[in-house]
A and B are shown apart, each in its own frame.
Chain A
Amino acid sequence: MVEAIKSGWITFKSIFIGMGVTIRHFFGPSVTLQYPDERPVIPDKARTKLYVNIDDCIGCHLCARACPVNCIYIDTVPATSDVDLGKTSTGNPKRFWLTRFDIDMAKCMYCDLCVHPCPTNCIYMVPDYEYSEFDRTNLIYHFSNLEPAMVAEVKEKAEKEAAEKQKQREEMMRKKAEEAKKKQMEAKKPPQQNTDGETGTKSDKSDNGDS
């Protein structure tokens, strides 16, 4: 009997304690954030969407190399000597056209590793976390601001210049090689005749061509 009253008392006591707890929470403040109307304050170093300030990018590929999942795609074309691409805001001279600068945010894992190597601090995270898309391809962000026509033009120019340079270089090489040959010939003439001298020039020539 005493036992029964005791256990009954304990039962009621625990029920009332529990109800006390719930009623305190009933009148207490709620922790709900009404999302579309209210937004959380994102911490300073939060890892969110990437942004590239393309005007400051010097096309050094450091970010692409740092990325562990290879989701940054950069194509560069060297600027021809007749254009000056100017300098970045940090004072680095720009020497490349960025024909393509894509970041695949669907692949990105927000590791922040691409941000720190950048010499001009032009790739960084912006506090935006609402960019879901219906199509995965829409998550590939294109940062390059060159138009396709421009890209083609720039490429063509660069190719021409490169070809010219290549020609010049080859010309120079040939001249050099010829000079070297002459020298060698002259140097080698007194002690020996034809055959040895010719092999020597051949190896010289191939070396030059490679480098």
Chain B
Amino acid sequence: MTQNLLHINPIAILVHAAIPLVIILVYALVAIWAERKVAGFIQDRLGPMRVGGWHGWAQSIADLLKLIQKEDIIPNDASRFLFKFAPFMMFAASYAAFAVIPFSSSYIGSNINIGVFYLLAVTSVLTLSIIMAGWASNNKWSLLGGMRSAAQMVSYEVPTIATVLTVIVVTGSLNLMTVTEMQSGNDILGFLPNWFIFQNPFLLVAFVIFFISILAESHRVPFDLPESESELVAGYQTEYSGMRWAMFMLAEYADMLLLSLLGATLFFGGWNSPFGDFMSGPFWSFFWFMLKGLLLVFVMMWIRWTLPRYRVDQLMHICWSILIPLSFINLVLVALWEVIF
């Protein structure tokens, strides 16, 4: 589909590229509302109830309208260009990464052979934009938040990559479409789908490590140190307001979805239906894929309202002395398993 982009109508290219954008925007509106509902339900409250009638479904639309109208405040001593640019760069990075996610059996932004590698490379720009925002704000909280986030993301990228590698060892391909196609069928124990999470016990361990590190990479509780409200005001976002702040929010939720979808692709069979051929057309594959991704997002929210936040030293301890050794040992074990079976 994308091999001969040059010969395709530019409008078709735009539409093709806009599909993930639409998905992200709709998802962000729903997810922000859902996050508040989940928080409410877990705390025996109801969450937003009034805007739009049924369970306050229009709450995030109202919030968005409010944010658009807000004044765009730029501190006097801020580095103006970097300050203005950071949120857009952050969103661009997480949006660009969606290019290699196979949303459905017939849609993938760009079917390149180094999909996973590209995704990991592009998402590391997120760190850069966070440091940019933190430094350009000329504010101690922002800077501290930015530094924390850089340290955190750089550290947790190692276990993430190591666990992604374990899957790549099994598949032998970096193309996420191929990875997904390798997981179709229901052969394990006669009924379980051929998802990697069921294929061998070490991949289950890999998934646990992967999930912990994506929590850290998308700054979710219990690893939300870069923006810990109770100590750093709002971390690197402290000086931002209005639409720029909304861009950060959007990028963060997009990042969350991106990593969850990556997890769903690598471990839960991507767009494959759990019932074999039943409900498996292009539309249904999109449905299953989003369902798996959103379930992971839900688990992230669920964890957010359950666990307290780690300290910086604990965060680093978990990463460097537990997750990284474990993930590498796991990588070797998976490789051995592949050699033996």
Please list the residues of chain A having a beta carbon within 8 angstroms of any beta carbon in chain B: 8, 15, 18-19, 21-23, 25-32, 34
Q: Decide yes or no whether B305 CB sits under 8 A from chain A.
A: yes
- A30 and B44 within 8 A (CB): yes
- A34 and B302 within 8 A (CB): no
Interface segment among B21-29, B35-43, B84-92, B172-180: the answer is B35-43
Contact A26 to B46, CB < 8 A, known contacts A15-B307, A18-B307: no
- B302 and A18 within 8 A (CB): no
Query: Which residues of chain A have C-beta atoms less than 8 A from B7's C-beta?
Result: none
- A30 and B306 within 8 A (CB): no
Closest to A36 in B: B50
Query: Which residues of chain B have C-beta atoms less than 8 A from A15's C-beta?
Result: 306-307
The 8 closest A-B pairs by CB, nearest first: A32-B46, A22-B306, A26-B41, A18-B306, A22-B42, A26-B42, A30-B46, A31-B44
- A23 and B302 within 8 A (CB): yes
Query: Which residues of chain A have C-beta atoms less than 8 A from B151's C-beta?
Result: none
Query: Which residues of chain B have C-beta atoms less than 8 A from A21's C-beta?
Result: 306
Query: Which residues of chain B have C-beta atoms less than 8 A from A22's C-beta?
Result: 42, 302, 305-306
- B49 and A25 within 8 A (CB): no
Q: How far is the CA of A171 from the CA of B38 in the complex (A)?
A: 88
Q: How far is the CA of A34 from the CA of B40 in the complex (A)?
A: 13
Q: Decide yes or no whether B303 CB sits under 8 A from chain A.
A: yes
Query: Which residues of chain B have C-beta atoms less than 8 A from A18's C-beta?
Result: 306-307
Q: How far is the CB of B56 from chain A (nearest CB, A)?
A: 11
- A34 and B42 within 8 A (CB): no
A23, A27, A30: the one contacting B45 at CB < 8 Å is A30
Q: How far is the CA of A29 from the CA of B38 in the complex (A)?
A: 13
Query: Which residues of chain B have C-beta atoms less than 8 A from A25's C-beta?
Result: 41-44
Q: How far is the CA of A15 from the CA of B307 in the complex (A)?
A: 8
Closest to A33 in B: B46
- B302 and A30 within 8 A (CB): no
Q: How far is the CB of B13 from chain A (nearest CB, A)?
A: 43
Central interface residue in A18, A22, A32, A34, by most chain B CB within 10 Å: A22
B38, B43, B46: the one contacting A34 at CB < 8 Å is B46
- B307 and A30 within 8 A (CB): no
A19-B306, A29-B44, A31-B45 known, 11 other contacts, Cβ within 8 Å? A15-B307, A19-B302, A19-B303, A21-B306, A25-B43, A25-B44, A27-B41, A30-B40, A30-B44, A32-B40, A34-B46
- B42 and A32 within 8 A (CB): no
- A30 and B41 within 8 A (CB): yes
Pairs across A and B, CB under 8 Å, 13 listed: A8-B322, A15-B306, A18-B307, A19-B302, A22-B302, A23-B302, A25-B41, A25-B42, A25-B43, A30-B40, A31-B44, A31-B45, A32-B45
Central interface residue in B44, B306, B322, by most chain A CB within 10 Å: B306
- A26 and B307 within 8 A (CB): no
Contact A34 to B303, CB < 8 A, known contacts A25-B42, A26-B42: no
Q: How far is the CA of A28 from the CA of B41 in the complex (A)?
A: 8
Query: Which residues of chain B have C-beta atoms less than 8 A from A30's C-beta?
Result: 40-41, 44-46
Query: Which residues of chain A have C-beta atoms less than 8 A from B46's C-beta?
Result: 30, 32, 34
Query: Which residues of chain A have C-beta atoms less than 8 A from B303's C-beta?
Result: 19
Q: How far is the CB of A31 from chain B (nearest CB, A)?
A: 5
Query: Which residues of chain B have C-beta atoms less than 8 A from A23's C-beta?
Result: 42, 302
8 A Cβ contacts from B276-309 to A: 302-303, 305-307
8 A Cβ contacts from B32-88 to A: 38, 40-46, 49
Q: How far is the CA of A31 from the CA of B38 in the complex (A)?
A: 15
Q: How far is the CA of A173 from the CA of B43 in the complex (A)?
A: 81
Q: How far is the CB of B171 from chain A (nearest CB, A)?
A: 28
Q: How far is the CA of A29 from the CA of B45 in the complex (A)?
A: 9
- B49 and A34 within 8 A (CB): yes
Q: How far is the CB of B242 from chain A (nearest CB, A)?
A: 30
Q: How far is the CA of A15 from the CA of B303 in the complex (A)?
A: 9
Q: How far is the CA of A31 from the CA of B322 in the complex (A)?
A: 41
Query: Which residues of chain B have C-beta atoms less than 8 A from A31's C-beta?
Result: 44-45
Q: How far is the CA of A32 from the CA of B44 in the complex (A)?
A: 7
Q: How far is the CA of A22 from the CA of B305 in the complex (A)?
A: 8
Contact A26 to B45, CB < 8 A, known contacts A18-B306, A18-B307, A19-B303: no
Q: How far is the CA of A30 from the CA of B41 in the complex (A)?
A: 7
